[in-house]
Amino acid sequence: IRLAVFASGSGSNFEALVEAVRKQTVDAEVALLVCDKPDAFALTRAKRLAVPSVSFYPKQFPSKGSFEKEVLDHLEEAGVDLIVLAGYMRIIGSTLLEAFDNRIINIHPSLLPFYPGKQGIQDAFDAGAIETGVTVHLVDEGIDTGEILAQEKVAIDPDDTIESLEEKIHAVEHVLYPEVIQTYIKKLQKEYA
Ligand code: GRF
């Protein structure tokens, strides 16, 4: 199975996945990093890890469809089977959804359906919740609404700051995401066989 990781920011989940592939705990190849922010740190990680990458300025395209068609060309050229979103801050449109039906996975830093959207960690913290977590789910046309594949809870302790909470959540993500991806790959392989 060949993976494309889509990222807009730091790319720590991207790096954790590449490491899991190299340790052979994920039975796949990270074929491509797709980035919609040409100055994102994820691209620096890709260079260091020797993973091919492409980056775009989506605003330079006349429409979401034309942007996604360009991305799709790169995915097809790289022989990608499964898209892994990891901090990709853009809603996936119909062009990619139709081409990768049930083959786009996302990770979100809350226990969905609680705290969807761009600031899942901050929103749980600001609400004074005593627990939040991480969700891995399939991507559909909604925002953080697709079928849930796995969730893991993270406690918000009275002495947690937003920074300490972010650290705990990212630590959970870096273990959970590769595990769930591996399980999903096994499922896809059975379907292909
Ligand atoms: C993660 O918290 C992920 O759940 C969310 O965006 C963040 C990405 O972090 N969707 P990184 O770029 O992988 O470091």
Indicate whether this model's pTM tops 0.90.
yes
The residue whose CA is least distant from atom 9 of ligand 1 is 87
- The pLDDT profile of the chain, 193 residues, written as one tens digit per residue, is 999 999 999 999 999 999 999 999 999 999 999 999 999 999 999 999 999 999 999 999 999 999 999 999 999 999 999 999 999 999 999 999 999 999 999 999 999 999 999 999 999 999 999 999 999 999 998 888 899 999 999 999 999 999 999 999 999 999 999 999 999 999 999 987 8
CA dist 36 and 46 (Å) reads 14
Q: Is 120 in the pocket of ligand 1 (CB under 6 A)?
A: no
Q: Are 180 and 105 a contacting pair, CB within 8 Å?
A: yes
Cα(111) to centroid(ligand 1), Å? 14
Backbone angles phi, psi at 36, to 5 degrees: -105, 10
Provide the ipTM. Answer: 0.97
In terms of C-beta density within 10 A (0-12 exposed, 13-18 middle, 19 or more buried), how is residue 63 classed?
Answer: exposed
Domain ranges across the chain: 2-192
Query: Is CATH 3.40.50.170 correct for 2-192?
Result: yes
Residue 44, both tokens: 């620096």
Q: Is 132 in the pocket of ligand 1 (CB under 6 A)?
A: no
For 75-114, the DSSP string reads HHHTT--EEEESS--S---HHHHHHTTT-EEEEESS-TTS
CA dist 35 and 39 (Å) reads 9
Non-local (6+) Cβ contacts of 122 within 8 A are 162
| Neighbour-count burial for 75-113, b at 16+ CB within 10 Å, e otherwise | beebebbbbbbbbbeeebeebbbebbebbbbbbbbbbbe
Mutation choice for ligand 1 from 173, 175, 176, CB with most ligand atoms inside 8 A: 173
Torsion angle of the four alpha carbons 47, 53, 58, 59, in this order, in degrees rounded to the nearest 10: 40
Q: Is 110 in the pocket of ligand 1 (CB under 6 A)?
A: no
